């Protein structure tokens, strides 16, 4: 394990050798910052191996055993295929020990809450609202210590070498990651009708309306999990306010907006949505569809995630703004598998750039490898089960192997509920993406319900409400097998081995660094 530092030196030049990505088309910088989440009622679903995994495993022959010998474990980044370096952050006592702080130091810090915007469905008992998030404490970390910790993430550069704005962002993110989650806490919320989303009202509320009443206090059943997480549905009482009542879900098509304040802290404010049984919901991924991440370019992806301001992908904000304006009662739900420690940063970006909506990120008790592979499916099933009569638009990009499997699976698992699947073909517009993806899940689906597209404009003028999901001017090349392998190779070629090229090597290298990093912690 102590070899990790020398490994770092070894790895950096390789990572930097990867070709520089094309500059982003649109570069409107946005400030950012945000929270964390959890789940107590989950039944772990079956772990599915990702297509990419086996390519990488077989391509970098011997890497696995090498990593195992060096690190003692096989890093989950390699196992999950795509270079998802944004995971395996330290938690709880690992944070305390790496910072050299004691329980009594921490006791002096105020308790904070990550309260993730939720959604409610209409039931015989009235509105049933989902509360999910995390309770934690933020240790007081000196700037020099923060810089040391940030430098561990900044492979190939250092915080001192970054421009001031990026230094601030890197320190902020590091501090967000180094928090100590608080288990066994009772959590109470104060609910009020919401005039807009958030305090600044910048996000348009996707046409949602303000209810006349509904102010009440809700205490969750039971305490937070050992990871500090909470996730449960609780019925709301039909209490009156100055403007009347909450509207019943079977008597309105409007989405009602409520503010949910966590009692005892001003860090846990969220806006949640009461969504009627019928209508249209978009479930949107974030990385490489709503913002430029380039997760498939490890060095760049790391900087984009860790130090740089988040930048929208081309004119996607216009597409979403137009949908929000033109589609009545459209429910926006942002579902990313990024770890809950960085939720605040994602929410901050989304609510300044895209329509307001509910949110899901990867809760802490889904942080081991096998669960990481099934979290998207779990979260998708949860929202589909909550709205058996609603129809869904699913959108993401081809670089997520779980998306490639889970999105089409929803169409089979919940017949009639998937209206459209839109996938940005990242390999088509970003030659740096050398990650293969598997389109076999689309085999049985009608072409009219999905589209692989290139740029946001391909989504314009589609009548998605009436099921027009395919822009016939965009040629489709779906082979229903593994696609996107570099150099025209196919996975099944030769002895089942594939050379994934520089990026594959760089990814593996990052896997080593990050695995080593958190192994040491
Ligand atoms: C990070 O910055 C955001 C606002 O830019 C702020 O809300 C958040 O509290 C900061 N987090 C930390 C840990 O400093
Ligand atoms: C709406 O649901 C409530 C509770 O289930 C029921 O009492 C009421 O009659 C329903 N209203 C309509 C218009 O169906
Ligand atoms: C954090 O610690 C520094 C000294 O290391 C101290 O000056 C500062 O007041 C502390 N901040 C808080 C919020 O406790
Ligand atoms: C949480 O609430 C329950 C029920 O009111 C109580 O028994 C328990 O002691 C509380 N836990 C804490 C840590 O306060
Ligand atoms: C919620 O609880 C607070 C005390 O923490 C109280 O001041 C407030 O009136 C309560 N709100 C409602 C709607 O009961
Ligand atoms: C609450 O009660 C009022 C008055 O009876 C009724 O008009 C309204 O539909 C009810 N709302 C809900 C959410 O049950
Ligand atoms: C909210 O928290 C305060 C202490 O911060 C406590 O006095 C109050 O009773 C709490 N309110 C509810 C409704 O739990
Ligand atoms: C949360 O809401 C409370 C009550 O409106 C407000 O005082 C506080 O500033 C808000 N917190 C943040 C971080 O906006
Ligand atoms: C409401 O959502 C819960 C939680 O997902 C689900 O179990 C329940 O069946 C839903 N109720 C209705 C009427 O759809
Ligand atoms: C994605 O784009 C690449 C490069 O243009 C192309 O080879 C591939 O067939 C496209 N994939 C799909 C599913 O359209
Ligand atoms: C399909 O392949 C053609 C020819 O390579 C390419 O121009 C087009 O962009 C591809 N379509 C998609 C959606 O990737
Ligand atoms: C299809 O895509 C083209 C090219 O991006 C765009 O100009 C057009 O508006 C889109 N929609 C339809 C319905 O053709």
Cβ of residue 175 lying under 6 Å from some atom of ligand 1: yes
Domain positions in the chain are 52-140+180-518, 143-177
Predicted structure pTM score:
0.84
What average pLDDT does the segment 470-491 reach?
81
Return the pLDDT at 103.
Answer: 85
Render pLDDT for 143-166 as a digit per residue (tens, 0 to 9): 999 999 998 878 788 999 999 999
Beta bridge partners of 335: 360
For 433-453, give the DSSP string. Answer: ----EE-GGGTTS-GGGEEEE
Can you give the three-state secondary structure of 126-137, one letter per residue? EEEEEEEEEEEE
What share of the chain has pLDDT > 70, as a percent?
Answer: 73
Res. 273: pLDDT tops 70 = yes
DSSP state of 496: S
Return the pLDDT at 153.
Answer: 79
Sequence-distant (≥ 6) Cβ neighbours of residue 518 within 8 angstroms: 88, 89, 90
CA–CA distance from 16 to each of 13, 78, 403 (Å)?
A: 5, 19, 28
Return the pLDDT at 302.
Answer: 81
Beta bridge partners of 331: 281
Q: Which atom of ligand 8 is nearest to the CA of 267?
A: 13
Res. 73: pLDDT tops 60 = no
When mean pLDDT is compared across 218-232, 427-441, 448-462, the lowest value belongs to 427-441
Distance CA 219, CA 517 (A): 39
Cβ of residue 248 lying under 6 Å from some atom of ligand 2: yes
- The Å distance, Cα 188 to ligand 10 centre, comes to 49
Residue nearest ligand 2's atom 6 by CA: 124
- The Å distance, Cα 26 to ligand 1 centre, comes to 25
Q: Which residue has the higher pLDDT, 130 or 9?
A: 130
Return the pLDDT at 239.
Answer: 97
When mean pLDDT is compared across 36-40, 181-185, 312-316, 404-408, the lowest value belongs to 36-40
Identify the band that residue 91 occupies on the pLDDT scale cut at 50, 70 and 90: confident
Q: Which residue has the higher pLDDT, 242 or 521?
A: 242
Res. 67: pLDDT tops 70 = no
Task: Match 């088309």 to its residue by tokens.
Answer: 25
Q: Which atom of ligand 2 is nearest to the CA of 126?
A: 4
Cβ of residue 190 lying under 6 Å from some atom of ligand 5: yes
Return the pLDDT at 25.
Answer: 39
Q: Which atom of ligand 6 is nearest to the CA of 214?
A: 13
For residue 127, give the ligand nearest its CA: 6
Res. 498: pLDDT tops 50 = no
Return the pLDDT at 521.
Answer: 22
Q: Which atom of ligand 3 is nearest to the CA of 140?
A: 1
Beta strands in 183-246 (DSSP E): 188-193, 216-219, 229-235
Return the pLDDT at 372.
Answer: 61
What average pLDDT does the segment 354-361 reach?
95
- The Å distance, Cα 314 to ligand 5 centre, comes to 45
Res. 173: pLDDT tops 80 = yes
Mean pLDDT of the chain: 78
Return the pLDDT at 105.
Answer: 85
Res. 21: pLDDT tops 50 = no
């Amino acid at each position: 394990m102590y070899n990790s530092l020398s490994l770092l030196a070894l790895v950096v030049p390789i990572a930097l050798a990867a070709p520089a990505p094309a500059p982003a088309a649109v570069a409107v910088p946005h400030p950012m910052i945000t929270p964390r989440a959890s789940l107590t009622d989950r039944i772990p679903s079956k772990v599915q191996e990702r297509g990419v995994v086996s390519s990488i495993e077989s391509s970098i022959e011997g890497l696995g055993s090498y990593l195992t010998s060096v690190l003692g474990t096989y890093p989950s980044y390699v196992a999950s295929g795509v270079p998802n370096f944004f995971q395996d952050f330290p938690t709880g006592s690992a944070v305390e020990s790496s910072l050299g702080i004691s329980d009594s130091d921490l006791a002096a810090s105020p308790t904070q809450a990550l309260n993730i915007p939720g959604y409610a469905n209409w039931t015989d008992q009235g509105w049933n609202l989902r509360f999910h998030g995390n309770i934690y404490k933020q240790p007081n970390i000196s700037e020099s210590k923060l810089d040391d910790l940030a430098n561990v993430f900044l492979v190939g550069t250092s915080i001192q070498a970054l421009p001031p704005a990026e230094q601030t962002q890197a320190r902020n993110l590091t501090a967000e990651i180094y928090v100590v989650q608080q288990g066994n806490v009772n959590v109470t919320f104060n609910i009020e009708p919401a005039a807009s989303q958030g305090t600044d009202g910048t996000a348009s509320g996707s046409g949602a309306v303000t209810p006349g009443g509904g102010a009440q206090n809700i205490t969750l059943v039971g305490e937070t999990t050992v990871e500090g997480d909470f996730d449960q549905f609780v019925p709301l009482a039909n209490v009156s306010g100055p403007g009347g009542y909450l509207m019943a879900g079977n008597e309105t098509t409007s989405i009602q907006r409520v503010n949910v304040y966590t009692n005892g802290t001003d860090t846990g404010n969220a806006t949640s949505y009461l969504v009627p049984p019928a209508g249209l919901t978009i479930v949107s991924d974030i990385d490489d569809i709503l913002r430029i991440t380039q997760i498939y370019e490890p060095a760049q992806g790391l900087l984009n995630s860790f130090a740089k301001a988040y930048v929208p992908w081309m004119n996607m904000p216009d597409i979403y703004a137009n949908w929000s304006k033109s589609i009545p009662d459209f429910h926006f739900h942002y579902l990313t598998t990024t770890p809950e420690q960085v939720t605040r940063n994602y929410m901050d970006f989304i609510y300044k750039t895209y329509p307001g909506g509910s949110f899901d990120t990867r809760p802490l008790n889904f942080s081991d490898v096998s669960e990481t592979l099934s979290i998207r499916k779990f979260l998708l099933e949860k929202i589909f089960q909550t709205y058996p009569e609603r129809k869904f638009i699913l959108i993401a990009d081809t670089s997520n192997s779980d998306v490639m499997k889970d999105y089409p699976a929803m169409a089979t698992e919940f017949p009639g509920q998937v209206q459209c699947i839109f996938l940005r073909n990242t390999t088509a517009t970003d030659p740096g993406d050398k990650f293969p993806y598997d389109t076999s899940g689309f085999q049985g689906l009608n072409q009219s319900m999905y589209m692989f597209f290139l740029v946001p404009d391909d989504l314009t003028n589609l009548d998605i409400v009436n099921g027009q999901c395919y822009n016939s001017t965009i040629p489709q090349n779906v082979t229903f097998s593994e696609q996107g392998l570099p150099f025209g190779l196919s996975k099944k070629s030769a002895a089942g081995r594939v050379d994934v090229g520089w990026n594959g090597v760089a990814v593996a290298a990052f896997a080593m660094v990050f695995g080593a990093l958190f192994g040491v912690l």
